[in-house]
Amino acid sequence: MNKIKEVAGNNTSDLVEMNRSAIVRILQQSDVCSRADIAKMTGLTQASITKIVAVLIDMGIVNEVGFVKGSGNRRSIGLRLNAEKYLVLGVKFSRHVFSIGVFDISGKVYTQQETEFSLEEFASDVVSNMKRQIHELLEKYKNVVAIGFAVPGPYLRKEGRIAMVTRMPAWKNINFIDEFKYEFDKPVFIEQDANAGALAEWWFGNHGRPLNSLAYFLAGEGVGSGIVDHDRLLLGNLGIASEIGHISINVNGAKCECGNRGCLELYCSTTAMLKKAQEVLPELFEEVIENRWEACNKVFNAARLGNKKAIKLVEEIAEYLGYGCVTLINAYDPEIIVIGDSISQGGELLLPTINRIVKERILPDICEKVQIKMSELKVDPTLCGAAAIATDKVLRKPSEYLV
């Protein structure tokens, strides 16, 4: 069984990893490209690219496919990512539902399934059900090479448990490392949901250019963020860095379960939005609504249809998301902020206000260099992120995991 050793130093091999990851991400985003195209986009020398690509070809991750036309009509050998050769399995665990998906290393989903559970069920029964489903999928998809788990934060990644799960105290006693690390004959990697989302956007987000840093702003039932800076996930000591949802935006505000007061999460999570919506727009909730995702959508659609109360509520949420973005920019200096999870369904309704707040509160020289957008991933970024956790580990150490 593979065990990951966590170290603080950087070696030459880290640089190779970073360059390899940049090359794979370029290949993910283009159907076919040449070594010269990669050199242009990464600034790496042809010699380094040739060396890294040779290793990737050797491992079967990249194939040479005919010729592509380059500048001056020169023909160069085309390279294509052989993404389907290696699959990864992603598991998203959240408050009411767990989802499992099989993906290839370019983020393409092969299958996904969702299981709802109630908070009255024993956590151990839910865990057993999860294990059974994963075993079944591993049986069916033999070329899965690693498994990634995305769990709600704050997740203490060295200890393997979630420090606080709002309204789910029983889950505090579940140790994810003990339960899952040695259950399958595949390596298992576990991170918290916002970090998973950040890796999903980093690996599969198709943002059109090689990025230096990215912030993923998770705005769903919980609020959090994940940061990838120069190809590294920002973890902190315990793995709970960038818990933006528990940054106080009102030091005398309502008490939060985390112990702090006036946390951002209390203002722009779906819980906050739906609580307010039930007060001011009770007519929207007369019929039974399937889930929170749909309930949020109802509020956004009411705003789209011109309902003044809904417009005001959405505007308020957007303002708080804007304050969150201001904090993300001041704290982490991201090149791009991607907002994901259920609140991002508000898309075009939210962005103008978010951008206005950021423009008002961030220096113009900084503000104009940050792009804020909604996630465009076709699969839930957290589930996709669970797959990205596994992809990230596998592609960093291919010789360890791909044999």
Binding site for Zn ion (CB under 5 A): 246, 256, 258, 260, 263
Least distance from Zn ion to the Cβ atom of residue 257, Å: 6
Cβ count near 237 (within 10 Å): 7
Instruction: Count other C-beta atoms under 10 Å from residue 186's C-beta.
Output: 17
Choice between 246 and 393, CB closer to Zn ion: 246
- Asked if 324 contacts 244 with a C-beta cutoff of 8 angstroms, the reply is yes
Cβ of residue 238: shortest distance to Zn ion, in angstroms? 16
Instruction: Give 160's contacts (C-beta < 8 A, 6+ positions apart).
Output: 175, 176, 177, 178, 181, 190
How wide is the angle at C-alpha 149 spanned by C-alphas 146 and 152, nearest 5°? 170
Instruction: Choose between 74 and 275: whose C-beta lies nearer to Zn ion.
Output: 275
CB nearer Zn ion, residue 252 or residue 399: 252
From the CB of 362, what's the least distance to Zn ion, in Å?
24
∠ CA(386), CA(392), CA(397), 5° rounding?
140
Cβ-based nearer residue to Zn ion, 59 or 164:
164
Q: Is the CB of 227 or the CB of 263 nearer to Zn ion? A: 263
Cβ 267 vs Cβ 245: under 8 Å: no
State the residue for tokens 């791909």: 402
What is the SS3 assignment for 100-150? EEEEECCCCEEEEEEEECCCCCCHHHHHHHHHHHHHHHHHHCCCEEEEEEE
- Smallest distance from Zn ion to CB 166, Å: 9
Shortest spacing between CB 262 and Zn ion, in angstroms:
9
Q: Where are the alpha helices (DSSP H) in 148-227?
A: 176-180, 193-204
Could you tell me the smallest distance in angstroms from the CB atom of residue 245 to Zn ion? 7
Strand partners, 248: 263
Residue 22 or 263: the one with the smaller Cβ distance to Zn ion is 263
Nearest in space to 354 (alpha carbons), one of 370, 342, 341, 366: 370
Bond prior to 154 in cis (omega within 30° of 0): yes
Of 15 and 254, which has the nearer Cβ to Zn ion?
254
In the complex, what is the shortest distance from the CB of residue 240 to Zn ion, in angstroms, rounded to a whole number? Answer: 12
At residue 316, what is the residue type? E
Neighbours of 128 (CB within 10 A): 12
Compute the least distance from the CB of residue 392 to Zn ion, in Å.
Answer: 28
Q: How many Cα atoms within 13 Å fall on the side-chain side of residue 22?
A: 26
State in angstroms the smallest separation of the CB of 254 from Zn ion: 10
Is the distance from CB of 340 to CB of 218 less than 8 angstroms?
A: yes
Alpha-carbon span 317 to 269, nearest angstrom? 8
CB of 264 vs Zn ion, minimal distance in Å: 8
Q: What does the alpha-carbon distance between residue 322 and residue 291 come to, in Å, rounded to a whole number?
A: 26
- 70 vs 262 by CB, closer to Zn ion: 262
Q: Which is nearer to Zn ion, 95 or 304 (CB)?
A: 95
Structure tokens at 75: 């023909």
3 state DSSP class of 358 = helix
Return the number of the residue (147 or 273) whose C-beta is nearest Zn ion: 273
